[in-house]
Amino acid sequence: MDYKKMYDSIVMLEVEISSFSGGGYKVRYDLSRNLISWNDSYMWNNNFMKSLTATKKELINKALPESGMLEWMEGYNRGETEKYGRPTANPSSWKITVKFEDNTTLVSSHTKNFPKKWNDLKTIIEQTTECTFRLR
């Protein structure tokens, strides 16, 4: 797989985390329209949509490949959770949806097991949204 090409062709990235009770956050990056949308299921008045600045888009373009997100998403889809993930006692879950220029979609998710490099992705989200991306 040519992951460099895959990262360069991402047009939409959606990342969500949720607790066993259903509360959580979802962030969506529309890279073709330069928009970020945020959904907070704990407090609806924290929801927003804003422009994705050139600086933040550059951060995503640089840091996302370094996070290895596509590689571990595919690893989870192959069932390689021991290689790419870490079991947690907390029954929280994550789901990531990536849409590419050719209209293909990659979706990966898991419960009670978070990627070893989750904090890399979390940092990107927090730096670009200026919101904390962790469950209460």
Q: How far apart are the first and last CA of the chain?
A: 37
Q: What is the pLDDT of residue 62?
A: 97
The band of 136, judged by pLDDT with boundaries at 50, 70 and 90, is low
Average pLDDT, the chain: 94
Query: Which of 123, 135, 134 has its CA nearest to residue 56?
Result: 123
DSSP structure class, residue 112: S
- Is-contact 50 35, C-beta < 8 A? yes
What's the pTM value of the predicted model, to 2 decimals?
0.94
- At 55-100, the pLDDT tens digits run 999 999 999 999 999 999 999 999 999 999 999 988 899 999 999 9
DSSP structure class, residue 44: G
- At 28-41, the pLDDT tens digits run 999 999 999 999 98
